[in-house]
Amino acid sequence: MKKSLCVIGLGYIGLPTSVMFAIHGHKVHGVDINEKAVEMINNKQLHIEENGLEERLKEAVESGHFKASTQPKEADVFIIAVPSPIREDKTANLDYVRSASEAIVPFVKKGDLVILESTVPPRTVEDVVIPELKKSGLEIGEDIFVSHSPERVIPGKVFQELVDNDRIVGGINEKSSAMTKELYESFVKGSIHLTDATTAEMVKVIENTYRDVNIAFANELALISEKVGVNVWEAIKLANYHPRVNIHTPGPGVGGHCIAVDPWFLAEIEPDLSNIIQLSRNTNDHMPQFTADTIEQLMKENNITDGKVAIFGLSFKANIDDQRESPSLKVIMKLVEKGISFQTYDPHIKDNVASNQTQDIDEALNEADVVAILTDHDAFKELDPVFVGSKMKNKIVFDTKNALPLGEWESAGFLIKRLGDSKN
């Protein structure tokens, strides 16, 4: 049955989700506090980059099924997809989740469903969302229904994963779960697994924590490999041929608003029981420092004084425009501390997000001594080493993502240092 939906938060998750429901026949009223974003969305313009979003947004708006606004309104279903960041002290900041829950109170009515999609520490539905919704005077679980259905899509492949991924639905009771399942069946082709709200919260947080711990392991292996005469990329590739091994890849750090954040949700709840989780966070957080130290070392070894580094890659991972919590920004801070000159460049990031940023690759490379590859964008993998070398003062590359074809760059006269590789 087609429903009216009110989606709070039109960012990386809320906007694609709204658009999907709209093009599957539901009537969607999207809400965001960012007036400029609302205006752009209604004009079929993107305020974020995501593959396939542009044409779907156009279709959704033109169908008359999707409209954005700064204010919520009455609906059958409310979906909350707002940020849930961490504070400086690594505790969860649930202010947006709380204020979104509060904002819908005047509009919820008997029979409505409220779904929280934002990633949150276990018990947030019970301890934060429900107390707000109770202010409506409606009986929770009888008059209105509530569930947590965490988003699990990867930036860059959001539309594919929204459809194909399995979905976790945790209702506060069976009716809440059933209603939520029925709604997502509008477009989800993966299986929809039902559980309770707190378990669903836990599932989402442990998925990202698993990845963080695994990446920390890979980063530790990279540091060990540099000492023992091994290329970590080769070692991990070979180990992963084992049917029960799946080691992730090292890099200059872990960015994004999920993997570098969610493990703290568990650490906050049970600090004494989350040793590996906290150690992994700290290991990954140390990688930008290690990256900056290696750049400094490369300059010293090659007798470069007052050298210039070209930082390639500002987004937190390949082929996206999202620089939130990007390790690159932390590497830059460390370079500033060391007094090393640099220019930053990212073909995916059009706004000014970093110091000394340029949109011009020639300017970034001009008179540079070292190019540091911090994000494995396809555009970097396809770079012509002869062109890059022609602009630089010294031909040195620090490849933290194993992105470049080594032989080709060495043939072009480059000295290549690869993270986790004692031979290069």
Active site residues: 204, 258
Task: Decide whether 94 or 140 has the Cβ nearer to ligand SAJ.
Answer: 94
The residue (of 65 and 317) whose beta carbon lies closer to ligand SAJ is: 317
Least distance CB 280 / ligand SAJ (angstroms): 12
Smallest distance from ligand SAJ to CB 170, Å? 16
- How many Å separate Cα 109 from the centre of its chain? 34
Contact 287, 251 (CB under 8 A): yes
Number of amino acids touching ligand SAJ (CB under 6 A): 20
Closest CB to ligand SAJ among 27 and 152? 152
Residues 6+ positions from 56 with CB-CB distance below 8 Å: 16, 19, 20, 23, 159
Residue 418 interacts with ligand SAJ (CB under 6 A)? no
Stretch 152-171: interaction string toward ligand SAJ, x if CB under 6 A: xxxx----------------
Q: What is the dihedral of CA 242, 212, 206, 19, to 10 degrees?
A: -100
If one asks whether residue 151 binds ligand SAJ (CB under 6 A), the answer comes out as: yes
Q: How far is the CB of 50 from ligand SAJ (least distance, A)?
A: 12
Beta carbons of 424 and 418 less than 8 angstroms apart:
yes
Distances, alpha carbon 239 to alpha carbons 212, 225, 226, 235, 401, in Å: 19, 14, 17, 6, 18
Edge to edge, what strands does the sheet with 370-373 contain?
357-358, 341-345, 308-312, 370-373, 396-399, 415-418
Site for ligand SAJ in 237-256 (CB under 6 A): 248-249, 251, 254-256
User: 375 in helix, strand or coil?
Assistant: coil
Any bridge partners for residue 415, and if so which?
A: 396
Site for ligand SAJ in 188-207 (CB under 6 A): 207
Q: Give min distance, CB of 138 to ligand SAJ, in A.
A: 30
- 72 or 252, CB closer to ligand SAJ? 252
Return the number of the residue (84 or 180) whose C-beta is nearest ligand SAJ: 84
x-or-dash string of contact with ligand SAJ, 205-244, rule CB under 6 A: --xx--x---x-----------------------------
Residues 310-329 vs ligand SAJ: string with x where CB under 6 A? Answer: ------xx------------
CB-count exposure of residue 156 (10 Å: 0-12, 13-18, 19+): middle
SS3 of 400, please? coil
Q: Which is nearer to ligand SAJ, 5 or 13 (CB)?
A: 13
Both tokens assigned to 134 = 């109770």
Give the span between the Cα atoms of 394 and 308, in whole angstroms.
Answer: 9
In whole angstroms, the minimum distance from the beta carbon of 110 to ligand SAJ comes to 32
What residues line the site for ligand SAJ (CB under 6 A)? 119, 151-155, 207-208, 211, 215, 248-249, 251, 254-256, 258-259, 316-317
